Amino acid sequence: MNRNKRAKIADNIATIFLYIIAILVIVLLTSITVYLVYRGIKSYIPKYMSFSPDGLGIQLFNTLYMVLLSIIISAPLGICAGIYMAEYAKPSKLTDIVRMSIETLASLPSIVVGIFGFLVFVMLTHSTWNMFAGVLTLSILCVPLLTRVTEDGLNEIDQSMKEGSYALGATKWQTIVHVLLPAILPRLVTGIILAAGRGFGEAAALIYTAGLTSDVSFSNWNPSSITSPLNIFRTSDTLAVRIWYLKGFAINPDKYQIADMAAAMLIILVFIFNIGARITGRVIERKMIGSSAIKSKKKSKIN
Amino acid sequence: MSCKLLVENLNLYYSDIQALKDINMGIDEKKITALIGPSGCGKSTFLKTINRMNDLIPGVRITGKMTLDGEDIYSSSNDVTLLRKRVGMVFQKPNPFPVSIYDNIAYGPRRHGLKNKGRLDEIVEKSLKDSAMWDEVKDKLKKSALSLSGGQQQRLCIARALAVEPEVILLDEPTSALDPISTFKIEDLMQTLKETYTVIIVTHNMQQATRVADKTAFFLLGDLIEYDETEVIFTNPQNPKTLEYVSGHFG
């Protein structure tokens, strides 16, 4: 067999192999999703699908609310830290240590972060389990991820774009805000999706911080009242925490059905969020970059 | 004839390597000056000292004097952002920002504080007209600058530089990444530009220097070997090294 033929066969094998892997990933994802949604529908009991004290509506609201708050806190911190690391920090021992710390922080087991959150945000503040402590703990998990995404994005930007901006008399800050950040916006959107995904699925970090119960009334929207859904100093269990609690300790006779419903809800929520965030990202990108850029970007991929 | 830019005993060091050695030259207003020489001769480095782009490189040290209309470029009282507004630059590789054509042109004026929409529209139109691409893009100003061809992108970068109303325009091998037709368009454009601006171009292409430049400076290993009318440099150079280079014997 000549060399040319052998190279061609290797090329074909590699292509087929990668296709099989891709199909496996898709099959895995769909089977998990379909199975969970199916079990959720099979276990459906109407009275738990509500915003009443028994219903999962409360946990759904808590999940969304806490993820939103933790993104509001962690996105500015993470993005600013990433900008600092990429654009301001001079290469030195200290920066290396900071970078390593961020990486370590990103891979800390969430139960450990949860215990830290409990010690600092609950014990040190002499409070009890509350939503805000949970939100801060979630933010600790999200910040390193966002820092990393921002720093990597900035480091990969073509240097010539920066020069172009400086050459027009723009300052460093103007260059960052008006050229560099818009250029990495799609990556930031991806980063925020990943961070939010972490928040949606997190249970261990919230058990000791945000608590295992919620006692709210959806007729009370005064944020200073302890039974208002908006109050951030009330205890607050998310869908993931609820699933964990129901499967383990609850005494409710319907507990397994509720857990299945909650799991289905959670997975649908994550799907809707991911799709929504991607669409939003694309709309923003189109608005900022101009209409035909996305198309031309796709065209530049060679087979 | 007045000198727009005066360079006296300029030396530049990258850490301990000397990249420019005792450069003395005066650059004429509203003329095109070409800087030629083999790779690594310091011509691009010299170009970047004029708008202080070398400030961005750590370890660069500069001695001597460079004055723009009598004002010392490197004096501490000279604001570098204002200097770069007066001295625009176009790079070797087209580097439009990943935003619309309109926003690319408006970028400079906006950063210098202009917010008035009507005034910005005027500047965008004028800059695109001055860079001879208004008719090509007037219907797609909201389209991404990245959708343009390489040659159009480079002219867009020229338009972007013109939008801040500079006095001097530095061109760093502006056509080396372009096809011959785009190159011709840009050379043509330079002839119009010199009616209003002082143009300094670094080029590897000696034919280009003869085609466009009024004066030409030949650099070699950080030294300014010869600086004269373009015709003299290419037909009757005084220095044997210049003759060797322009007749293609090395470099």
Q: By percentage, how much of chain B surpasses pLDDT 90? A: 76
The sign of the CA dihedral A113, A114, A119, A124 is positive
CA-nearest residue of chain B to A285? B99
Cβ <8 Å between B85 and A183 = no
Strands B223-229 and B198-202 turn out to be unpaired
- CB count in 10 Å sphere of residue A30: 10
Per DSSP, what are the bridge partners of residue A31? none
ipTM over 0.85: yes
- pLDDT (0 to 100) of residue B250: 64
> What pLDDT shows up at residue B1?
53
On the 0-12 / 13-18 / 19+ scale of CB atoms within 10 A, A10 is: exposed
The packing angle between helices B180-193 and B150-162, to 10°, is: 20
Would you state the pLDDT for residue A21? Answer: 97
**Beta-carbon contacts of residue B9 (< 8 Å; ≥ 6 apart):** B22, B23, B24, B63, B64, B65
Domains of chain B, by residue range, sit at 3-96+169-246
Q: Which of B89, B147, B160, B168 to mutate to test the interface with A (most CBs of A within 10 A)?
A: B147
Residues of chain A positioned with their CB less than 8 A from the CB of B110: 178
Which of B24, B5, B89 shows the shortest CA–CA distance to B51?
B89
CATH superfamily of B3-96+169-246: P-loop containing nucleotide triphosphate hydrolases (3.40.50.300)
Are residues B20 and B14 in contact, defined by beta-carbon separation less than 8 angstroms?
A: no
| Mean of pLDDT over chain B | 91
Task: Please indicate if any CB of chain A lies within 8 Å of the CB of B56.
Answer: yes
Cβ-Cβ contacts under 8 Å between A and B: the total is 95
Of A164, A174, A292, the CB nearest to B95: A164
What is the widest separation between alpha-carbon atoms in chain A? 80
- Residue ranges in chain A whose pLDDT is less than 50: 292-299, 303
pLDDT for B83-124, tens place per residue? 999 999 999 999 999 889 999 999 999 999 999 999 999 999
Q: Which two tokens stand for residue A244?
A: 């964990």
The Cα–Cα gap between A274 and A146 comes to: 16
Q: Say yes or no: A164 contacts chain B, CB-CB below 8 A.
A: yes
What pLDDT, in 10s, does the model give residues B16-33?
A: 899 999 999 999 999 999
pLDDT attached to residue A115: 95
User: What is the pLDDT, as a whole number, of residue B49?
Assistant: 94
Which pLDDT score, from 0 to 100, does residue A279 have? 87
- Nearest CB to A167: which of B82, B89, B103? B89
Calculate how close chain B gets to A146, using CA atoms only, in Å.
22
> Does the beta carbon of A163 lie under 8 angstroms from any beta carbon of chain B?
yes
Residue A1: what pLDDT? 63
pLDDT digits (tens, 9 = 90+) for B62-82: 999 999 998 899 987 778 999
* Neighbour count for residue B54 (Cβ, 10 Å): 19
For the beta carbon of residue B118, count every other beta carbon within 10 angstroms. Answer: 7
Say yes or no to pLDDT of B34 above 70. yes
